[in-house]
Amino acid sequence: MAGAAVGGVAIGAIGGYSFLTPKETIIEKEVEVPQEVPEHPWTYTKLNVDAVQKRAYEAYFQGGCCYSVFEGVIGELREQVGHPFTAMPTKMAVFGGGGIKGWGSTCGVLTGGGMAINTVTGGATINELMGWYTETDLPVYAPETALKVEGDIAKSVSNSPLCHASVTNWSNASGFAENDPSRAERCARLCADTAGKIVEMLNAEADGNFAPVFQVPDSVIECGACHGKEGPVNNVFAKMDCDTCHGDAHPN
């Protein structure tokens, strides 16, 4: 609380009467009001890719893949920017781990990544993130201090946004069981790669030079000729590579 005396006293005398203008003391009193949470989307501030990758890598071992990427990006904004990111309970993303509670559906890095991106933008970069994830040989990230398994980790291309497809492809490529410690190490590094990719894209978007490169797989176009909007059997709405699961479904 701060007090400041301003104003003053004027004294005069007219016709034997003494009079004063009263001395006025103005006291400024600080009243605490909670900061208003801004409208969605919250303003993004460019982040350091290395710092976000490290945060995501470490967070994986605290709350799994979906939490890792959400905390990697939003946690770094919380530290660098503060309000309103201090209001976001990033642990709400734990659910997405293992393709939602171990169901093997969408890989949690994409769910947590979507949540992070969509907190600060309309989300134009999410489509690019999905494409990048499905077509890139991952993981690339090499931690300074490995938390589970040291040394190189085998890479693989998921050809799918799904957790179980991604894990099985990696398991087949590496020769390690899905519950081997090196699989957890692989997923932690994949989290770092994904959080880093997000920040690269958001930084580029902030600079006005984000340039998406992803094109939908050929199978989506080929199968879509019958099963898509313009086809006679218009019953599929997707951008996932059809061949990954339905390669043997029926001849094209």
Site for a copy of itself in 71-100 (CB under 8 A): 82-84, 86-96, 98-100
Q: Which of residues 99-118 bind a copy of itself (CB under 8 A)?
A: 99-106, 110-111, 114-115, 117-118
Burial class, 193, CB count within 10 angstroms (exposed 0-12 / middle 13-18 / buried 19+) = buried
Residues 174, 157 contacting (CB under 8 angstroms):
no
Residues 142-201 that bind a copy of itself (CB under 8 A): 161-164, 167-168, 171-172, 177-179
Q: How far is the CB of 50 from a copy of itself (least distance, A)?
A: 25
- Residue whose C-alpha is closest to residue 165's, from 105, 222, 113: 105
The answer to whether residues 59 and 75 touch, using CB atoms and an 8 Å cutoff, is yes
Under rule CB under 8 A, residue 19 binds a copy of itself:
yes
Range 29-68, binding a copy of itself (CB under 8 A): 29-37, 39-42
Rank residues 61 and 214 by Cβ distance to a copy of itself and give the closer one: 214
Say if CB 105 and CB 189 are below 8 A apart: no
Q: Tell me which stretch binds a copy of itself (CB under 8 A): 52-60, 125-133, 135-143, 149-157.
A: 125-133
* # binding residues, a copy of itself (CB under 8 A): 84
Phi, psi (degrees; rounded to nearest 5) at 13: -145, 125
